[in-house]
Amino acid sequence: MISLQSHNQVLYHLTQLALTATPRTTSYSVQVKKHDESLQKNAEETVICPDSFEEAARNCTELPEISLNTSNVLKMKDNKVCLILDSVAVSIFRRPLEENNKWRVSYLSGLSFAENKRDFPCSMFTEPIILPVVHLATKQQHRLLHTWYGKKLHNHMPIRTFKSQRTVKMELEQNPPFMSRIKKWFGLSSNIQMGLVPELKSSDYEKLKQIFNNTEATADEQKRIKIAFVEGYESGLQRQMRGRTNAWLKIMLNILTVSTIILVIWLYLSYPGGGIFKLPMSHRIEIDPEDIHVTFSDVKGVDEAKQELLNVVEFLKNPDKFSALGGKLPKGVLLVGPPGTGKTLLARAVAGEAGVPFFHVAGPEFDEILVGQGARRVRDLFRAAKEKAPCVVFIDEIDSVGAKRTNSILHPYANQTINQLLSEMDGFRQNEGVIVLGATNRRKDLDKALMRPGRFDVEIYVNKPDYLGRKEILDLYLARILTHEIDTDYLARCTTGFTGADLENMVNQAALRAAIDEADYVTMKHLEHARDKVLMGPEGKLKLRDEEVNRITAYHEAGHALVAFYTKDATPLHKVTIVPRGPSLGHTSYMHEKDVYHITKSQLLANMDSMMGGRAAEELVFGPEKVTTGASSDLVEATKIAETMVKIYGMSEKVGFRSIVENKKLFGNNNMYAPSTNEIIDNEVKRLLQESYERAKAILKTHSKEHKQLAEALLQYETLDADDVAAIANETGLSKRESSADSKRSSK
């Protein structure tokens, strides 16, 4: 069927041509630009008979090629059109396609991939050319528009060289131009999207009437065509594209979004510690002195360190007093000492009394996954400090940033942070008025360049408090709670080795215990309970164990207590209990009567004997085959004392007066001495331990009666102090003491 439409193109429907090649319906169109609009209005439909066309395609072999103009096609009658198409097919049959024309060829697809690969299955067509070729010549120029070409076992890929309006529209939608994207982003739609579906033209109405008045279609088919058209037309009218109703709202939202992003970027870049690839500190590094309520009056037990820092604070308050004599402000003060001795508390006191800007930062804050962030943070810290000089910069846990430099190839940039810190503290440019206050409990790990004068001029060792210091600390913390009849002298004596943090924790635990017991005041009972908790660990539940376990534990702890009681120069006994304390089933604690500054050889041997008492008691009472693993921690401590005596203290005659230092290496042999030397050391350690064990066994054999009485008392009372152990050893008895069960019932 050849039809003429109202558009500026001539559309030829070659339905019959497709039916001759394949049973499925396939339509191909050939589009030619319009030359004469008047000819299109008078065009009439021409029907080509499929049978005659098929017969003509088989029989016509020698017909000249005829140039076909658009006007000639419109003026021809039915038979002439068929003859011209046949002649064109024959002419193309005699003229094979050239290789450069394959891009202008369209192939008819089969029902499956196998048909496309092995040619069409129609048996009636055996010639290479199975369909005619249409030549349309306009202005005497021959142009091949469409060719159906069949070839046996061809491997050509189907290619189309024409584009329809639909494909162009789809390509524009998938990959729109830049300006279209800008318009769409700002809410400005195109003209097609702004309006409704285009209205139909008069020629379109005429064609619709011809379709509806088609006599070949049945009434049911016409009805369905009309219903489908009405539904589609109605759906198209209801499809309203986005217009300018909300365009301004969308524009405002987009402007607001862009403004917010710009504001966030500006704030990030303008932040003092921020910027591109800059990570700020985790908190505010500058401390307002008004926010610090700690003064030197709150610092007790570290008088030497407090006096040194008082001099620094006085220099900051009255610099003219010292500069008149030519003195200079110290560059840095390093606080060194065990954990819990009050180094950070001293820094807080400096911040509270200095009256100058105070900067606080922790050493681990300089560590970052990005290379160069640590050095940058050091620069930012000292830049801010120089702007507000005179000031104090406190670096807590400075060993994290000031550790010894390394030559490791695994991390070649590891030294950037410490190098920057060294340069800032005492480099080419002097830091006038900036005091660096550092705190660490690992002085050996610090770099030597950091410890030299000019960087840390003053080094203060903050030691554990002595008896007077502990008494002052206890008075300070006990004054903050409600107490009744507290003996601080006794508490100061029985807390030897406690740091300031331990004493604060003990007082706090006593207050919590008093609140649990619903007491009105904190008494000595609560404080002693808190001291034992800090010293030995929290209490466990004795009732969960059977009698056999309690009996073994009682004889084990009684062995420790008796050996310590009867051994000269042993640490005085404080308390023994079979109540579980921490990971142990029982515990025997010792307490020095005064502060200890040095330990003698006899004291070390006596302590070893006390530790061996538990294992010796198990062997004597239950037999060598019934010893338990409860003495493992005792053996570890005893071995440590013996090795220290031989390797470090020079208390072995065979090894001599030398210090054996172990060289701990990651790889290789860490043994620096000859095998004979190591054998001598091992023999001496073994000898000391064996002799200590024999002495403990001898004491328990001699006082086996007291050992049994002490174990039975532990099973009855669960906990005994030094006076109770002395009463049992001296056979005075414990007639005035209540059992643990009776005391619990009376308390209830």
| Peptide bond before residue 390 is cis, with ω within 30 degrees of 0 | yes
What is the rounded distance in angstroms from the CA atom of residue 108 to the CA atom of residue 17?
11
Q: Could you give the residue ranges of the DSSP H alpha helices within 624-674?
A: 632-647
- Look at residues 463, 464, 449 and name the one whose alpha carbon lies nearest to residue 332: 449
Q: Could you give the residue ranges of the DSSP H alpha helices within 119-164?
A: none
Look at the block and give the residue holding tokens 């019932």.
745
**Cβ neighbours of 382 (radius 10 Å):** 22
Token pair in block for residue 219: 């009434």
- Could you say which DSSP state residue 453 is in? T
Strands 332-336 and 358-362: unpaired
Strands 434-440 and 391-396: parallel
What is the rounded distance in angstroms from the CA atom of residue 494 to the CA atom of residue 431?
48
What backbone phi and psi angles, to 5 degrees, belong to 186? -85, 0
What backbone phi and psi angles, to 5 degrees, belong to 739? -70, 165
Q: What Rg, from alpha-carbon coordinates, does the chain have? A: 52
Look at the block and give the residue holding tokens 């037309």.
233
Look at the block and give the residue holding tokens 């084990």.
556
Residues ≥6 apart with Cβ < 8 Å to 158:
106, 107, 109, 116
What is the rounded distance in angstroms from the CA atom of residue 397 to the CA atom of residue 686?
40
> Which is catalytic among the residues 424, 557, 706, 718?
557
Query: b/e map of 570-589 (b: 16 or more CB within 10 Å)?
Result: bbebbbbbbbbbeebbbbbb
Query: b/e map of 479-501 (b: 16 or more CB within 10 Å)?
Result: eeeebeebebeebbbbbbebbbb
Opening angle at CA 567, ends 561 and 568, nearest 5: 135
Which helix (H) or strand (E) segment is 512 a member of?
Answer: helix 500-516
Strands 719-721 and 587-590: unpaired
Residues ≥6 apart with Cβ < 8 Å to 204:
6
Q: Find out whether 280 and 273 touch, Cβ atoms under 8 Å.
A: yes
For the question of residue 557 being annotated catalytic, the response is yes
Alpha-carbon distances, residue 335 vs 23, 303, 429, 438, 502 (angstroms): 99, 13, 25, 6, 19
Strands 573-577 and 587-590: antiparallel
Which of helix, strand or coil describes residue 133?
strand
Residues β-bridged to residue 395: 361, 438
Query: b/e map of 388-406 (b: 16 or more CB within 10 Å)?
Result: eebbbbbbbbbbbbbbeee
Which of helix, strand or coil describes residue 575?
strand
Q: CA neighbours within 13 Å on the CB side: how many for 664?
A: 0
Which of helix, strand or coil describes residue 313?
helix
Q: How far apart are the first and last CA of the chain?
A: 113
Strands 719-721 and 573-577: antiparallel
CA 351 to chain centre: 34
Token pair in block for residue 510: 């006593």
- Could you say which DSSP state residue 324 is in? T
- Helices vs strands, H then E, count in the chain: 29, 13
Q: Provide the annotated active-site residues.
A: 557
